[in-house]
């Protein structure tokens, strides 16, 4: 069974930094593209970033490019999202998602971790 467990969320002041982690199990992590999606309270889903299976290719939403960095450690089956220069509008539940075998839709999701950017 695929399991994705996010951690690292919390309260941070505007301008601060936070690193999210997503521990994966139940599948061969190194074979899959992984994605971060966020959801502001009471709002819809927003795609944030993806990283290729080997980690050599990444992509970001305009809203986070230059402030967020996605990475992965295939030896630890873990996905990361380093967030810096955080803004109030970055407050959201951050989900990690496993891409399908064949393309950029998401067949498994974690439960999410809440990031609250507030002074």
Partner 1 sequence: DIVMTQSPDSLSMSLGERATINCKSSQTILYSSDNKNYLAWYQQKPGQPPNLLIYWASARESGVPDRFSGSGSGTNFTLTISSLQAEDVAVYYCQQYYTSPFSFGQGTKLEIK
Site string for partner 1, 40-59 (x = CB under 8 A): ----xxxx--x--------x
What is the DSSP track for 19-37?
A: EEEEEEESS-GGGS-EEEE
Nearer to partner 1, 12 or 37 (CB): 37
- Contact flag: residue 21 with partner 1 (CB under 8 A): no
Indicate left, alpha or beta for 26 from its phi (over 0: left) and psi (-120 to 50: alpha).
Answer: left
At 4, list the tokens.
């994705």
Q: Is 111 in the site for partner 1 (CB under 8 A)?
A: yes
Among 95, 113, 115, 117, binds partner 1 (CB under 8 A): 95
Residue from the set 41, 56, 75, 105 that interacts with partner 1 by CB under 8 A: 105
Rg, the chain, Cα only: 13
């Amino acid at each position: 069974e695929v399991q994705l467990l996010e951690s690292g969320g919390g309260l941070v002041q505007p301008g601060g930094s936070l690193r999210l982690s997503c521990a994966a199990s139940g599948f061969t992590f190194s074979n899959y593209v992984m994605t971060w999606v966020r959801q502001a309270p009471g709002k819809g889903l927003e795609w944030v970033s993806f990283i290729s299976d080997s980690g050599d290719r990444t992509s970001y939403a305009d809203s986070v490019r230059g402030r967020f960095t996605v990475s992965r450690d295939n030896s630890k089956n873990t996905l990361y999202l380093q967030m810096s220069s955080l803004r109030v509008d970055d407050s959201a539940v951050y989900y990690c998602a496993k891409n399908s075998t064949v393309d950029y839709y998401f067949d498994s999701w974690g439960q999410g971790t809440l990031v609250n950017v507030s002074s």
